[in-house]
Amino acid sequence: MAHNNGLSTEPKVIAESGPGNSIGVGLAALISGAEKYYALDVVEYASTQGNLKVFDELVTLFKRKEEIPGEEEFPKAKPYLTSYGFPNSILSDSRLSPALNIARIDRIRKSIMDMDTTDSMIRYRVPWFASNVMEVESVDMILSQAVLEHVDDLRGTYKALFSWLKPGGFMSHQMGFGCHGTADEWNGHWTYSDFVWKLIRGHRRFLLNREPFSTHINSMKEAGFSIVYEKKG
């Protein structure tokens, strides 16, 4: 999607908001040639052994140039793509060969096992809400998958994301606007009063912010972002 919209397909530093119990997206980025990956979460979920297993599987998939798992295998994973073939035009042999170098793969593996070493390619930040968890203008690409619908302070979050990006950097976010099981209808969470919603949320650190798509767009623009592409549905 970045390629189709004139954005860089070779970001060197990538940050992911809310990776959850797997940093697989970041590991795929490192395997693709990225030099550093920041995992930003609210609670520490990551499992070293689980991530090592995912990493080994990903390396095999990249070496085989396997097709991307599509809608039939993961029907809930959005956005849907126009093509699920391996992106040979982007991840060419000249790019993949040095990225898959044995010494480099070993370095990524060691980074998974110990993320706190000075030469680690992975940085795990918990919690991630404070703007000072990252250096200003230090990241080429920021992404998240089904995360920002759970963030309460959208204005502050988008301002922080903007400050972290280098000039020319970009971000990509997938967001769901359903009720997440809090109502019978997919949009029923918007019908509750603030008081009832407070009771439903209880003492959870996060649930849903109940903000519409327009609030996200307006908050992005207010922070300084320009919208290059949006895909609904």
Quote the pLDDT of residue 104: 98
What tens digit of pLDDT does each residue of 166-198 get?
A: 999 999 999 999 999 999 999 999 999 999 999
Residue 131: pLDDT band by 50, 70, 90 thresholds?
Answer: low
* Range of the structural domain that residue 157 is part of: 3-177+212-223
- Token readout for 98 is 């040095």
Cβ contact 113:48 at 8 Å: yes
Quote the pLDDT of residue 33: 96
Residue 25 lies in a domain: yes
Cβ contact 139:39 at 8 Å: no
Dihedral sign, Cα of residue 40, residue 44, residue 45, residue 50: positive
Q: Residue type at 4?
A: N
What tens digit of pLDDT does each residue of 35-49 get?
A: 999 999 988 887 899
49: CATH: 3.40.50.150
Residue 15, H or E segment: strand 13-17
Looking at the structure of the chain, the number of domains it has is 1
User: Mean pLDDT lowest for which of 74-83, 99-108, 180-189, 210-219?
Assistant: 74-83
Residue 199 lies in a domain: no
What tens digit of pLDDT does each residue of 48-74 get?
A: 999 999 999 999 999 999 999 989 999
Q: Is residue 129's pLDDT more than 80? A: no
Average pLDDT, the chain: 94
Residue 232 lies in a domain: no
For residue 87, whether the previous peptide bond is cis, meaning omega lies within 30 degrees of 0, is: no
Cβ contact 158:31 at 8 Å: no
Residue 185 lies in a domain: no
- Mean per-residue pLDDT for 104-130? 91
What tens digit of pLDDT does each residue of 218-232 get?
A: 999 999 999 999 998
Quote the pLDDT of residue 173: 96
Residue 103 lies in a domain: yes
Is 214 strand, coil or helix? helix
**What burial letters (b/e) apply to 111-131, b meaning 16+ CB within 10 Å?**
bbeebeeeebbbbbbeebeee
- Mean per-residue pLDDT for 135-142? 96
Q: Which residues, other chains included, contact 201 with Cβ-Cβ below 8 Å and sequence gap of 6+?
A: 207
Residue 130: pLDDT band by 50, 70, 90 thresholds?
Answer: low
Residue 182 lies in a domain: no
- Mean per-residue pLDDT for 123-150? 89
Residues 87, 90, 96, 98, Cα dihedral to 10°: -170
Helix ranges (DSSP H) in the chain = 24-32, 48-64, 93-99, 102-113, 154-164, 194-201, 213-223
Q: Residue type at 128?
A: W
Residue 196 lies in a domain: no
Residue 229 lies in a domain: no
